[in-house]
Amino acid sequence: MTASSSSLLLLMSFAAGTFAAGSSNNPQHLMLANPSGGVPNNPLPLIIWPRVAPDDAEEEDPDLASWFEQTFARHGWPPAWRYDIFPYTHYHPNTHELLGVAQGWAEVLFGGDTGRMVTLRAGDAVLIPAGVGHKQVYASEDFMVVGAYPEGFSPETSRDEPAKLQAAQQQVKQVPLPTRDPFTGEAGALTEIWTPIADHL
């Protein structure tokens, strides 16, 4: 599948209102470049890895969480926490955030109030660019993700506050591009999708 046909399929799925990340084994991306209220968002797209965890890692949920933690740590994204996603719109202006879904499912609104809903399921992973809003809207009772950040970064958490938008946009522009893909440790979906965009910013 070409990049253009992949983007067309994504646009068609967005027309239905919800993007189901668990429908393909290929990394997919979602553009959320425009601000929404006080959420700056980012020209770098959200990257979603559907069903990235191997099947044997999903036999027991604790093993799946451990698999994400070990994989992230090995590739330069130290895991920081296990929890669900805050049920209010928030973003991190100073770092990109990586989530691995260890249990259950959730519908997450990315990009602020004018963004897109994405369905995440156990075994999926999502890379959220700095500044991109996210909010858990619905979830199974057992929903849990592993959160990680590039080495040397700890997140600041900001809410949808229009008065702070301009300062947040400037802060987001200063966040460096990660050099290591969280699933390969080198070149991969992160570098293939983000680097060409970053080169033109």
- Residues 57-68 pLDDT 10s: 555 545 899 999
Within a domain: residue 108? Answer: yes
For residue 162, tell me if it sits in a domain.
yes
Classify residue 199: in a domain, yes or no.
no
Q: Is 157 a residue whose pLDDT tops 70?
A: yes
Which regions of the chain does DSSP assign to beta strands (E)? Answer: 18-20, 28-32, 42-49, 79-83, 90-91, 97-103, 105-110, 116-121, 125-128, 134-139, 144-148, 158-159
The CB density around residue 70, as the number of other CB atoms within 10 Å, is: 12
The boundaries of the domain holding residue 61 are 3-193
Chain segment 3-39, per-residue pLDDT in tens: 433 333 343 333 333 444 443 457 899 999 999 999 9
Looking at the structure of the chain, the number of domains it has is: 1
Q: pLDDT for 131-140, tens place per residue?
A: 999 999 999 9
CATH number at residue 158: 2.60.120.10
Q: What is the pLDDT of residue 155?
A: 96
Q: Is 50 contained in some domain?
A: yes
Residue 200: inside a domain, yes or no?
Answer: no
How much of the chain exceeds pLDDT 70, in percent? 84
* Assigned domain for 198 exists: no
In a domain, 138, yes or no: yes
